[in-house]
Amino acid sequence: PVPVLAVVGRPNVGKSTLVNRILGRREAVVEDIPGVTRDRVSYDAEWNGRAFTVVDTGGWDPDARGLAERIAAQAEIAVSLADATLFVVDATVGITDADEEVVKILRKSGKPVVLAANKVDDERTEAEAYGLWNLGLGEPYPVSALHGRGSGDLLDAVLAVL
Ligand code: GDP
Ligand code: MG
């Protein structure tokens, strides 16, 4: 059986865009309206000749009450089904309460986590990724899911724990 990677994080941080970057094709639904991906969608992926399953998550109504708890609850399900997690944070926004809730779930799982500092589209934005060390999940990997910047290093880090 191939290993499973869960991609979790708040709505609109770029999870589906990053999944498409990993797949090398446009398959995961990307929306300017947050929360469009329904729950969990699995895709067959490959990097450096290794096959794995990548699970995109989503499906939260961003205006719902208790959003942070809902995101965390979804993350808990996805993580329980996965071998490792790719936690996506919007580096241009920084750490939110919802991010902190997800971190608790990730810690509890005891499974490996790779932290993607997304939306680092250029060098100027790179510094904003350093603030994500404060999540206590180790090194944040600066990446631009949109442009592909940093995605090779990120995937190498993912495969190293998967
Ligand atoms: P999801 O809700 O976490 O799956 O986020 P999406 O992948 O649907 O992306 C939400 C929005 O962020 C879309 O408008 C994307 O084009 C945008 N986005 C995603 N990744 C990046 C990135 O690396 N840089 C920038 N500037 N925008 C991004
Ligand atoms: Mg999505």
Q: Residue 18 CA: which ligand is closest? A: 1
Phi, psi of 18 (to 5 degrees): -70, -40
Structural domains of the chain ordered from first start:
4-161 (3.40.50.300)
Cut 0.80: pTM above it? yes
- Quick one: pLDDT at residue 141? 98
Query: 91 near 125, Cβ under 8 Å?
Result: yes
Q: Is the beta carbon of 34 within 6 A of some atom in ligand 1? A: yes
Q: Is the beta carbon of 121 within 6 A of some atom in ligand 1? A: yes
Strand partners, 55: 6, 42
40's CB contacts (< 8 A; 6+ apart) are: 55, 56, 57, 77, 78, 81
Residues 49-61 pLDDT 10s:
999 999 998 866 6
Interface predicted TM-score (ipTM) = 0.99
Residue 57 labelled as part of a binding site: yes
Q: Return the best residue to mutate from 90, 128, 146 for the ligand 1 pocket (most ligand atoms within 8 A of CB).
A: 146
Q: Say whether pLDDT at 113 is over 90.
A: yes
Q: Is the beta carbon of 37 within 6 A of some atom in ligand 1? A: yes
Distance 19 CA to ligand 2 centre (A): 9
Residue 104 labelled as part of a binding site: no
Residues 15-28 pLDDT 10s:
999 999 999 978 77
Q: Residue 41 CA: which ligand is closest? A: 2
Per-residue confidence band for 138, with pLDDT thresholds at 50, 70 and 90 = very high
- Quick one: pLDDT at residue 59? 63
